[in-house]
């Protein structure tokens, strides 16, 4: 079993009688999580200046620190200020600079919660927050408002209420377990929860979001993997931000999950001073796919409190994608997204490859800057849809037929829906409209406007 000299040194300073078996025990790692500055300095053999020590005390009073000995061992003490692991794990006084745009809950997860532990934002899937405990408190965490204050798991009553909501909402076909970290639940508790979800007929897919392969790879035990294997189809997304995090231990953990037939994805966050560099991101995505992990999302850093020093311009993310698309395999390229403040969900942001278009052709450019055209069909007649999905004899012809209820822009494009406009709530023009009796119109602000526009008006 691998055990680097630095890991041995940290282990001896924590527990003189400890051996490599202790180091690789995830319970031992959790018991010895580093939560104070004196221990941090002692384990790494460094001493921070007095001013930095005071800044540390001020920061952890609001945003606590917790680092596994394993993840601590990845820090380079000789270049600590520029170390990407240190920046993700060690509190910075910049976290106390709360900007005007910062929000405690920027994604409105609490506002979109119809039941305990549940966030229901997208039509067919829910977020199920089953843990308030993490192996490490990431300094860029979007849920700083709830993770780290009290390490805990939701009570069984809250979990059952969340399960009841999923059971009573047939539209939910996809459940994402997150937290905190679901893999900090005991195997037996996670096994029970997965069994309850798998017993719900309309739940087709269960996903788990975890950072344990990054900060606590020893949590991926043979017994955990054997239990997960019983609940297919499962998908797991993890959270590597830098190539340095893909150590031998991390790769071994990923191999166990992949060998169990679990598809793996990765969600990185674009972080200033950590991975805002094309060469770093290219090395990261290449290492991920070498280990059977598909780069899934590259997130623009959220507007959570205290993350201003981590945020980059959106242009930096576009620059990175320009250097990936066409320059490496397509499955190495993550989707760059902004998780919209206010609960708008993930919005893809990509370089612009469509330059212009006309009735007959579109003008495109490729990654090299080559400009080309694509000829549109001379005659395209869409197949008439009578909107009767249950008796469809056309392309749909799926058994059983599942009618797609479009919303938003998709609703305007659908030929089976009468909506011709989406109107913002409290639109002044519509508020001014009255019927012939001087009463308010029946049209409610925010509703889709069906049928032709009155008096020949074309809705904006």
* pLDDT tens profile 335-376: 999 988 877 889 999 999 999 999 899 999 999 999 999 999
In this predicted model, what pLDDT tens digit does every residue of 212-264 receive, in sequence order? 999 999 999 999 999 999 999 999 999 999 999 999 999 999 999 999 999 99
Q: Three-class SS of residue 160?
A: helix
Task: Considering the domain delimited by 118-348, tell me its CATH architecture.
Answer: Alpha-Beta Barrel (3.20)
| Packing angle, helices 156-167 and 187-198, rounded to 10 | 20
Q: Is 339 a catalytic residue?
A: yes
- DSSP E strands, 190-308: 205-209, 234-238, 264-270, 293-300
d(CA 375, CA 277): 37
Catalytic residue among 144, 302, 311, 332: 302
Q: Which of 330, 279, 274 is nearest to 299 (CA)?
A: 274
Q: Is 138 a catalytic residue?
A: yes
* The token pair that represents 378 in the structure block: 């001379």
Rounded mean pLDDT of 275-295?
A: 98
* The token pair that represents 295 in the structure block: 């780069």
Q: What is the pLDDT of residue 450?
A: 44
Task: Provide CATH 3.20.20.70 ranges for the chain.
Answer: 118-348
When pLDDT is cut at 50, 70 and 90, the band that residue 75 belongs to is: very high
Q: Is 134 a catalytic residue?
A: yes
Catalytic residue among 71, 112, 134, 181: 134
- Across-strand partners of 237? 209, 265
Q: What is the pLDDT of residue 42?
A: 95
Q: What is the mean pLDDT of the chain?
A: 87
Catalytic residue among 125, 139, 287, 311: 125
Catalytic residue among 282, 346, 365, 389: 346
* Whether the predicted pLDDT of 422 surpasses 50: yes
Which burial class, exposed, middle or buried, applies to 304 when counting CB atoms under 10 A from its CB (0-12, 13-18, 19+)? Answer: buried
Catalytic residue among 141, 244, 287, 336: 141
| Packing angle, helices 314-322 and 278-290, rounded to 10 | 60
Catalytic residue among 24, 87, 112, 138: 138
Q: Is 141 a catalytic residue?
A: yes
Instruction: Give CA separation, 334 vs 73, 231, 285, in Å.
Output: 28, 27, 8
For the ranges 110-114, 188-192, 285-289, which has the lowest average pLDDT? 110-114
Catalytic residue among 102, 122, 124, 191: 122
For the ranges 55-69, 188-202, 273-287, which has the lowest average pLDDT? 55-69
Q: What is the pLDDT of residue 37?
A: 94
- Across-strand partners of 393? none
Q: Is 121 a catalytic residue?
A: yes
In this predicted model, what pLDDT tens digit does every residue of 167-192 receive, in sequence order? 999 999 999 999 889 999 999 999 99
In this predicted model, what pLDDT tens digit does every residue of 327-341 receive, in sequence order? 999 999 999 999 888
Q: Is 122 a catalytic residue?
A: yes
Q: Is 244 a catalytic residue?
A: no
Catalytic residue among 42, 62, 121, 146: 121
Q: Is 332 a catalytic residue?
A: no
Q: Is 102 a catalytic residue?
A: no
Q: Is 164 a catalytic residue?
A: no
């Amino acid at each position: 079993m691998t055990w680097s000299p630095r890991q041995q040194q940290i282990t001896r300073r924590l527990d003189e009688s400890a051996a490599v078996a202790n180091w690789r025990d995830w319970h031992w790692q959790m018991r010895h999580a580093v939560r104070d500055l004196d221990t941090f300095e002692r384990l790494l053999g460094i001493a921070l200046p007095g001013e930095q020590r005071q800044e540390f005390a001020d920061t952890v009073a609001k945003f606590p620190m917790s680092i596994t000995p394993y993840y601590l061992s990845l820090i380079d003490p000789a270049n600590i200020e520029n170390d990407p692991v240190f920046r993700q794990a060690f509190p910075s006084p910049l976290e106390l600079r709360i900007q005007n745009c910062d929000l405690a809950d920027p994604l409105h997860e609490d506002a979109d919660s119809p039941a305990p532990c549940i966030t229901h934002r997208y039509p067919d899937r829910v977020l199920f927050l089953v843990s308030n405990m993490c192996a490490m408190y990431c300094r860029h965490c979007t849920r700083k408002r709830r993770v780290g204050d009290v390490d805990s798991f939701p009570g069984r009553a809250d979990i059952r209420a969340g399960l009841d909501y999923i059971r009573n909402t047939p539209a939910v076909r996809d459940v994402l377990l997150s937290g905190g970290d679901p893999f900090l639940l005991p195997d037996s508790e996670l096994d029970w929860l997965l069994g309850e979800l798998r017993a719900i007929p309309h739940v087709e897919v269960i996903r788990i979001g975890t950072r344990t392969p990054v900060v606590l790879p020893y949590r991926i035990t043979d017994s955990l993997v054997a239990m997960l294997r019983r609940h297919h189809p499962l998908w797991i997304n993890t959270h590597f931000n830098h190539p340095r995090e893909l150590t031998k231990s991390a790769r071994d953990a990923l191999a166990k999950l992949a060998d169990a037939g679990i598809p793996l994805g990765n969600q990185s966050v674009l972080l200033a001073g950590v991975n805002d560099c094309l060469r770093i991101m290219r090395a990261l995505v290449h290492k991920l796919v070498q280990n059977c992990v598909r780069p899934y999302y590259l997130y623009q850093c959220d507007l959570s409190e205290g993350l201003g020093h981590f945020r980059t311009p959106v242009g930096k993310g576009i620059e990175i994608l320009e250097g990936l698309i066409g320059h490496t395999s397509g499955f190495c390229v993550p989707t760059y997204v902004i998780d919209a403040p206010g609960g708008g969900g993930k919005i893809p942001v990509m370089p612009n490859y469509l330059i212009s278009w006309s009735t007959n052709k579109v003008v495109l450019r490729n990654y090299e800057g080559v400009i080309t055209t694509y000829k549109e069909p001379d005659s395209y007649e869409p197949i008439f849809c009578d909107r009767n999905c249950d008796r469809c004899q056309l392309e749909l012809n799926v058994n059983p037929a599942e009618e797609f209820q479009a919303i938003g822009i998709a609703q305007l494009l659908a030929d089976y829906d009468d909506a011709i406009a989406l109107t913002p709530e409290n639109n002044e023009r519509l508020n001014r409209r009255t019927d012939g009796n001087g009463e308010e119109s029946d049209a409610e602000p925010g509703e889709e406007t069906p049928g032709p526009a009155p008096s020949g008006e074309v809705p904006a």
